[in-house]
Chain A
Amino acid sequence: MNPETTLFLVNLLTAAVLLATPLLLAALGELVVEKSGVLNLGVEGMMLIGALFGYIAAYNFQTITCLEELIPGMCTKEQRVFTFPDYLLALVCAALAGAVLAALFGFLTQTLRANHVAVGLGLTILGAGLTNSLGSNFLGVNYTSVQVADHPEVFGQDILVWFSLVAVPVIWYALQKTRMGLVIRAVGENHDSAYALGYRVARIRFWCILFGGAMAGLAGAFIVLVHVDWKEGVTVGKGWLALALILFGTWKPLRVLCGAYIFGLLWASELRLDHLFPEYQLEWKTVLTTAPYIFTILVLVIISRNPRMIRQNAPASLGKPFNPPS
């Protein structure tokens, strides 16, 4: 392979990682949620909340030193340092913010037993509205117009990239090989039986929902701290893509990982291979942007023709309301 092609492929992969990582993080969290039998459509909202609060935390944790002062209090040249521990703290804040919004979902769906779909959609709208108003004025700072300095990478990639990759086998192991995973799956398969066995269905699901929220929060933080700055609605539908990704990966962490990178590569190709068919630029781009959804539909068609696959992977009680016999 000539060096030019190699460089092109490296750049393509670098771009793919930028999209794949937030998708993978959000999808892995939601995968655990769905395995426990809960359908949370509020991923987009939780990502936005995580993104905003991760950004707010990062902005306030960075150290700003003034290099040139025109008059006292007015800095003309400043140096910003955002260290690795600061970055980790900001990520914790993002995860917490996502989890807090998820807790609202958990309270409404598990404690008050409201409809999962309706509350999930409401969560997305709430997340978008809340971040729009808080983002432009949170304790007097307009976060759409401030910047956060770059932070150190680990082995040439952001720590969240490694974290998302490590999370894949960990979540697989936890779900398939541990007692905790068995309980989560049991609750997701048949909540009545699990309840009859003495498991506290609502509580187990609540913890899974919190985990999903934290992961979505991290996904949002990745977008605003690694890729672009905070803007209102910065996730632009990635939460929905993460939901499609779980179906694409048929509730299996490794397939979700493959799916995330396939989606990422498609997204990167859209802008880097756009001169491939100059006569059909619009059609070609349309194919690439819709491909994730078309693939997901294809996968759904294939698995729905194979009852064994559905029975194995899809949680049987997904999205069904649980009313314990009283």
Chain B
Amino acid sequence: MKKILSAFTASLLAATLTTGIAQADDKIKVGFVYVGPIGDLGWTYRHDIGRLAIEKEFGDKVETTYLENVPEGAEAVKSITQLAETGHDIIFTTSFGFMDPTNEVAAQYPDVKFEHATGFKRESDNVSTFSARFYEGRVIQGLIAAKTTKTNKIGYIASFPIPEVVRGINAFQTELAKHNPDAVVDVKWVFTWFDPAKEAEAAQAFIDAGADIIVQHTDSPAAMAIAEKTDGIYAFGQASNMSRFGENSHLVSIVDNWDSYYVDRVAAVIDGSWSQTDTWWGLSKDGAGNGVGMVEMADYGNISEELKAEAMALEAALRSGERHALPCPIYKQDGELAEDCAAGEKHLKDFPTLVSMDWYVKGIEGSLPK
């Protein structure tokens, strides 16, 4: 009896582990690999909103599956292979650290389409990459921070020293220095995308050191909640609209909007027109004001009407392409003029400068961890 009982309990435990992937032949199967939990209310949450947009758009024609909390690096191979093995037609891997695993699995499953977010490696024909120009939003945050800070100390919580994060820091600093040359940005690398306690601790460390504006490039709203607890501290949200976590402290959030890209790509799989691409959308699709891009600014708050109008005008200029996020002249940390600017460009070029950015602009203290 005991044996039967323990076998029963064991199978019950096992049942909770499997995600229960059902088979259906005529439907297009779309798989997602997430680095964090959907409930992070930040990065992964927004990707899942994109997944729901696919379901809403195509209804019965598609079936979506997701795996959450997949660790970056070699371990991700297992999860991506699991989706490829179970008949998924297109698989979105939504973190920079899935770059090599995605390409590794893609080479073994030539019939499956792979879409990797924020990476740059497309080793086989069935891998596309896509990314958002979040740094356009950082420009607007730089303006607001410059005119809001009273202590002239700004804390920047950075996740990993990858081009996407470095671009954001540089765009922020460039605009900040333009409007308030006395303000200083302090960058703390936390080396995690999601660890609420650590994000909160980084924010607290900044506040203790006298900063009154917190910028984050991590996934949870923990830093915003810390800012809300202290009077006179303001913070910017990241990835999703974090205004509800900071009634008195939220300035503006950079919101990821993957919906239209995801719907476009799944539509391409359905009509057979899918091909390898490298997509990089900002506030608009083409950088000239057309279409809904991947970056959205949400809920300007806790600032004067005047500053709000100025920020929105800047947003409009960035969307229409009238203004570039990183216009020349841009000086590197050591005072040297950036190569693109020295070559007479009007702004920093996408290739190879922005995609592989690994240097700080002038005014940021400390060195970039390599």
State yes or no: do A and B come from one complex.
yes
Task: Determine if B104 is an interface residue (Cβ-Cβ < 8 Å).
Answer: no
Task: Determine if A227 is an interface residue (Cβ-Cβ < 8 Å).
Answer: yes
- Residue of A132, A229, A271 touching B196 (CB-CB under 8 A): A229
Interface contact B196-A18, CB-CB below 8 Å: no
- Residue of A108, A129, A147, A281 touching B245 (CB-CB under 8 A): A147
Max chain A C-beta neighbours (<10 A), residue from B17, B38, B39, B205: B39
Binding stretch for chain B, among A232-240, A253-261, A292-300, A302-310: A232-240
Residues of the A chain whose Cβ atoms lie less than 8 Å from the Cβ of B191: 282, 285, 289
Task: Determine if A112 is an interface residue (Cβ-Cβ < 8 Å).
Answer: yes
Chain A, interface residues (CB within 8 Å), range = 35 or more
Interface contact B38-A236, CB-CB below 8 Å: no
Q: Is the interface of A mostly helix, strand, loop or mixed?
A: helix
Interface contact B222-A281, CB-CB below 8 Å: no
Contacts known (A15-B205, A18-B197, A147-B245); A231 close to B367, Cβ less than 8 A: no
Contacts known (A144-B41, A271-B202); A279 close to B196, Cβ less than 8 A: no
Closest to A130 in B: B16
Interface contact A144-B197, CB-CB below 8 Å: no
Interface contact B39-A274, CB-CB below 8 Å: no
Interface contact B16-A231, CB-CB below 8 Å: no
Residues of the B chain whose Cβ atoms lie less than 8 Å from the Cβ of A267: 201
Binding stretch for chain A, among B5-13, B57-65, B92-100, B310-318: B5-13
Interface contact A223-B367, CB-CB below 8 Å: no
- Residue of A223, A229, A274 touching B188 (CB-CB under 8 A): A274
Task: Determine if A135 is an interface residue (Cβ-Cβ < 8 Å).
Answer: yes
Interface contact B189-A274, CB-CB below 8 Å: yes
Residues of the B chain whose Cβ atoms lie less than 8 Å from the Cβ of A289: 191
Task: Determine if A19 is an interface residue (Cβ-Cβ < 8 Å).
Answer: yes
Interface contact A231-B41, CB-CB below 8 Å: yes
Task: Determine if A272 is an interface residue (Cβ-Cβ < 8 Å).
Answer: yes
Task: Determine if A181 is an interface residue (Cβ-Cβ < 8 Å).
Answer: no
Distance between Cα atoms of A65 and B185 in the complex (Å): 40
Distance between Cα atoms of A11 and B210 in the complex (Å): 12
Task: Determine if A126 is an interface residue (Cβ-Cβ < 8 Å).
Answer: yes
Contacts known (A11-B208, A278-B367); A271 close to B197, Cβ less than 8 A: no
Task: Determine if A6 is an interface residue (Cβ-Cβ < 8 Å).
Answer: no
Residues of the B chain whose Cβ atoms lie less than 8 Å from the Cβ of A141: none
Residues of the B chain whose Cβ atoms lie less than 8 Å from the Cβ of A285: 189, 191, 369
Interface contact A233-B369, CB-CB below 8 Å: no
- List residues 122-179 of chain A with CB under 8 A from any CB of chain B: 122, 125-126, 128-130, 132, 135-136, 142, 144-145, 147, 150
Distance between Cα atoms of A91 and B245 in the complex (Å): 24
Task: Determine if B195 is an interface residue (Cβ-Cβ < 8 Å).
Answer: yes
- Residue of A135, A232, A271 touching B198 (CB-CB under 8 A): A271
Task: Determine if B366 is an interface residue (Cβ-Cβ < 8 Å).
Answer: yes
Interface contact B2-A135, CB-CB below 8 Å: no
Interface contact A282-B39, CB-CB below 8 Å: no
Task: Determine if A314 is an interface residue (Cβ-Cβ < 8 Å).
Answer: no
- Binary contact track A1-34/B, C-beta < 8 Å → 1, others 0: 0000001100100010011000000000000000
Task: Determine if B244 is an interface residue (Cβ-Cβ < 8 Å).
Answer: yes
Interface contact A223-B68, CB-CB below 8 Å: no
Interface contact A236-B197, CB-CB below 8 Å: yes
> What are 8 A-to-B residue pairs whose CB atoms are below 8 Å?
A11-B205, A129-B16, A132-B39, A227-B200, A228-B199, A228-B220, A229-B196, A232-B38
List 20 additional contacts besides A108-B6, A271-B205; criterion CB under 8 Å: A18-B201, A108-B9, A112-B2, A112-B5, A112-B9, A126-B13, A130-B16, A136-B38, A223-B197, A231-B37, A232-B39, A232-B40, A233-B194, A234-B196, A234-B197, A236-B197, A272-B208, A281-B366, A282-B161, A282-B369
